[in-house]
Amino acid sequence: MVTIDQIIAEKLNNWTINEWPIGNVFLCIIAMVLAVILSGVIGIERERRGRSAGLRTHLLVGVGSCLIMIISIYGFPLVFKGDSGEPLFNRDVARLAAAVVTGVGFLGAGAIMHRNSGVKGLTTAATIWVVMAIGLACGSMNFILATLSTILIVVVLTLFRKFENRLNKRSPLIKVNAEPNTPVVSKILATAQEFNCLVNDLQVDLTDDNRIEIIFLAISKTSEMRSGEFVKAIESIEGVTDVSVLNYHKK
């Protein structure tokens, strides 16, 4: 399938001034500028959320991926056999792109943190990986595809966040800190029974300051989950010092 931007890229590639092929220079400039804009849009969204990998990280990944793709296309010119017109070797322009996919995968893994409260940073790791893909798309002159992908990603990161919070309110992941030597677990179970909830994946740990840390998933047996009232009921339990919801933001 040949896209509009690839047709434009082919025409620009054949653009010469005084027999100097300068069209590919303009193509490279367009690709780099577009990579900065598109990866910056996603980076700004992550920066606003206060994530560890923000604007600069996403810019570097997007521009770097674009640069490597450009090098893969233009940096290794074909050498031909004499006057036969046959290339001396086969050039695979996707080889460097495949290496970028693997390398950025390790970079994204560094943004993921595993704690007792679960895994954090998966979305940021995914945005780093997808910014790499956008950079490769820009570097391979698929400008329309890169732009449409960025728009779709921004929609997923913004609009779908509200939908995700609404779903998570039906099954909040709750962390409770309590004083030692208090029957907090039994009281939490009793409170859950009052709210017609199931308590799943309950974990109990002892923190460094000798406090009890309890993490559990509350699943409502009914269609509606009164998560706000349930959290307040947990906070009122004797011995509980702090309650936080981990999978959505309380209002």
> Mean pLDDT, the chain, as a whole number?
80
How far apart CA 42 and CA 48 sit, in angstroms, is: 10
Look up the domain containing 136 and give its range.
4-166
pLDDT of res. 202: 86
Specify whether 109 is located in the same domain as 218. Answer: no
**Does residue 22 sit within a domain?**
yes
Q: Over the stretch 155-196, which tens digit does the pLDDT of each residue have?
A: 888 887 777 666 666 678 888 999 888 888 899 999 988 888
pLDDT range class, residue 251, cuts 50, 70, 90: very low
Specify whether 107 is located in the same domain as 58. Answer: yes
**Segments in the chain forming alpha helices (H):** 4-13, 23-48, 55-74, 94-109, 122-139, 143-168, 184-194, 227-235
Specify whether 72 is located in the same domain as 156. Answer: yes
Nearest alpha-carbon partner for 62 in 37, 46, 90, 39: 39
pLDDT range class, residue 85, cuts 50, 70, 90: low
Q: Which of 143, 166, 189 is the last residue of a domain?
A: 166
How far apart CA 142 and CA 65 sit, in angstroms, is: 13
Specify whether 133 is located in the same domain as 222. Answer: no
Return the CATH number at 195: 3.30.70.260
Specify whether 105 is located in the same domain as 183. Answer: no
Q: Over the stretch 33-72, which tens digit does the pLDDT of each residue have?
A: 999 999 999 999 888 877 767 888 899 999 999 999 988 8
Question: Looking at the 3D structure of the chain, how many domains does it have?
Answer: 2
**Does residue 251 sit within a domain?**
no
pLDDT of res. 83: 59
Specify whether 158 is located in the same domain as 178. Answer: no
**DSSP letters for 184-203:** HHHHHHHHHHHTTEEEEEEE
The percent of residues in the chain predicted with pLDDT above 90, rounded, is: 16
How far apart CA 175 and CA 195 sit, in angstroms, is: 17
Specify whether 64 is located in the same domain as 162. Answer: yes
**Does residue 250 sit within a domain?**
no
Q: Over the stretch 10-21, which tens digit does the pLDDT of each residue have?
A: 777 777 777 777
**Does residue 10 sit within a domain?**
yes
Largest Cα–Cα separation, the chain: 89
pLDDT of res. 60: 92
When pLDDT is averaged across residues 101-117 and rounded to a whole number, the result is: 70
Specify whether 37 is located in the same domain as 21. Answer: yes
Q: Which of 166, 184, 208 is the last residue of a domain?
A: 166
Whether 133 has a pLDDT exceeding 90, the answer reads yes
How far apart CA 36 and CA 50 sit, in angstroms, is: 20
Q: Which of 166, 192, 221 is the last residue of a domain?
A: 166
Whether 116 has a pLDDT exceeding 60, the answer reads no
